[in-house]
Amino acid sequence: MSTPPPRQGTRPVAIVACAQSKSERRIEQANEVELLMPVVTEVYANAGMTKDDVDFICSGSTDYLIGGPFSFVTALDAVGVWPPKAESHVEMDGAWALYEAWVTLQEEGKDVALVYGFGKSSLGDLSRILALQLDPYTMAPMWPDQVSLAALQAQAMIDQGLATEEDFARIASRARHNALSNPNAQVANEKTMEELMKDDYAVAPLRRHTLPPLSDGAAAIILVAGDRAYDVVDRPAWITGIDHRVDAHAFGARNLAESRSTTKAAENAGVSAGPVDIAELHAPFAHQEILLRRAMGLNESTVINPSGGPLAANPLMAGGLIRFIEAANRIMDGSANRAVAHATSGPVLQQNLVAVLEGAS
């Protein structure tokens, strides 16, 4: 096996096992621990490992989804950090927890990491919760909701001639179609662009179908450094490039129709260094797929969001990590050789992470 060399760091790191819950609008029968535990159990089983094999654990979640401090602390009860483990938590999507784990595995002697992310959007009013991400002096007091902010971005794209409402509907149509073959998806059906265009506006110019569903869900990944990855799986999904960047928060000070942070992260991750078979883009709103695709320079030969993407299932704090899972699964099963996984955080794509996953040649 010829492990593809990584662009960042010195030690190749691969995704070797994944697990995710089925996304649902409301998972009432499970609290966070019960949501997470089967997923963690499954990822260990998929890797043929136990908690004792893991050198580092990192998770992504946010307290505001549950409305109480330290939600990540109780979630640890699902993971079994005993004997005590090297463990950390980011108040970010699980994709950034993966980034931290990837950094940690650069060190010799740290070979296996568990990464997970979880979130239940069903407990509160997500639009109101997310308004608390905005500048606390000049924006949050007006409680702008995430759909309206996304609509500002979509309109900027339309004004700049980058997309039309029909383009948005075409993306939603394809996402729902792709989701039919994804058992974890929440929104899956066959609807043509023309049918979807009959939808009402949620906030113009965004019609209902351009919005992501509200989802509860959890996801977990096992990362392994070096050749040990081949002990777990025949075709590990090697992370050959990974980078993340942030844009200015004051989105009145930037062009909303572009994503400089994505462009820079994609350049550093080496997206354009070879053909991209598939890309899993964390574009919660349909228009953001067009924006991200342009920002990364992906051409027509790349299949976008074969899982259906966030338009089919979008558990906050796990949505980005699920993009890694969907991309890695397609490397591991041999259906793709080179894939892109992307995650976003913050209002209107403020922060973006891009990774290139490759199978060994």
Partner 1 sequence: MADPTEIYTSPHVLEYPYARSTGPIIGAFLTALRDGKIVGVKGSKGRVIVPPTEYDPDTAEETSGIVDVGPGGVIETWAWVDTPRFDAPLDTPFAWALIRLDGADTAMLHVVAAPTSDVVVTGTRVTAEFRPAAERVGSMHDLRCFVLEGK
Partner 2 sequence: MNQRCAVIGVGQTHHKSKREDVSIAGLVREAAVAALEDAGLDFSDIDAVVVGKAPDMFEGIMMPELYLAGALGAVGKPMFRVHTAGSVGGSTAIVAAHLVANGIHKRVLTVAFEKQSDSDAMWALSVPQPFSAPLLAGAGGYFAPIIRSYINKSGAPNNVGMKVAVKDRLHALKNPYAHLHLPDIDLKMVEESVMLWDPLHYLESCPSSDGAAAMVLSSEDVAVAQEKTTGRPAAWIHGMAMRSEPTMFAGRNLMNPQAGRDCAKDVFAQAGITKPRQELDCAEVYVPFSWYEPMWLENLGFAEENEGWKLTDSGATSLDGGDIPWNCSGGVLSSNPIGASGMLRFLESALQVRNMAGDHQVPDAHKALGHAYGGGSQFFSMWVVGSDKPE
Partner 3 sequence: MAAEETAQGPVTMLSTPIRLDYNFTAGVAQSKSLRGYAEGRFIGQRCPVCKKVYVPSRGSCPKDAVATTEEVVLPNTATVTTFCVVNVPFAGQSIEIPYITASILLDGADITFMGLIQGIAPEDVEMGLRVEAVWVPKEELGPTLASVKYFQPTGEPNREVSTFAEHL
Contacting residues toward partner 3, per CB under 8 A? 28-31, 33-34, 37, 40-41, 51, 64, 66-67, 74, 76-82, 122-125, 128-129, 132, 136-137, 140-141
8 A C-beta contact, residue 349 and residue 263: no
Which partner, partner 2, partner 1, partner 3, none, binds residue 46 by CB below 5 to 8 Å per kind?
Answer: none
Positions that interact with partner 2 (CB under 8 A): 8-10, 57, 62-64, 67-70, 72-74, 76-77, 80-92, 96, 99-100, 103-104, 106-108, 129-130, 132-137, 140, 243-250, 260-261, 264, 345-347, 350-351
Residues 44, 50, 221: CA angle, nearest 5 degrees:
30
The residue (of 30 and 81) whose beta carbon lies closer to partner 2 is 81
> Least distance from C-beta 69 to partner 1, angstroms?
10
Cα(210)–Cα(170) distance, rounded to whole angstroms?
10
Cα(210)–Cα(228) distance, rounded to whole angstroms?
42
8 A C-beta contact, residue 325 and residue 20: yes
Q: Does 149 bind partner 1 (CB under 8 A)?
A: yes
The residue (of 66 and 265) whose beta carbon lies closer to partner 3 is 66
Cα(96)–Cα(90) distance, rounded to whole angstroms?
7
| Residue listed under structure tokens 């948005």 | 168
Which partner, partner 3, partner 2, partner 1, none, binds residue 234 by CB below 5 to 8 Å per kind?
Answer: none
Pick the closest to residue 354 from 327, 318, 315 (CA basis): 327
Query: Token pair of 281, please?
Result: 């883009």
List 46, 144, 164, 193, residue binding partner 1 (CB under 8 A): 144
Cα torsion angle, 61, 307, 28, 286, sign: positive
Which partner, partner 2, partner 1, partner 3, none, binds residue 40 by CB below 5 to 8 Å per kind?
Answer: partner 3
Q: Residue 91's CB: how many other CB atoms inside 10 A? A: 13
Going residue by residue from 47 to 86, which x/- string records binding to partner 1, judged by CB under 8 A?
--------------------xx------------------
The residue (of 178 and 352) whose beta carbon lies closer to partner 2 is 352
* Residue 287 one-letter amino acid: H
Pairing of strands 237-246, 206-207: unpaired
Neighbour-count burial of 110, counting CB atoms closer than 10 A to its CB (0-12 exposed, 13-18 middle, 19+ buried): middle
Which partner, partner 1, partner 3, partner 2, none, binds residue 107 by CB below 5 to 8 Å per kind?
Answer: partner 2
> Least distance from C-beta 1 to partner 1, angstroms?
45
- Give the interface with partner 1 as residue ranges (CB under 8 A): 28-29, 67-68, 123, 127-128, 131, 135-139, 141-145, 148-149, 151-156, 159, 201, 203-206, 248-253, 256
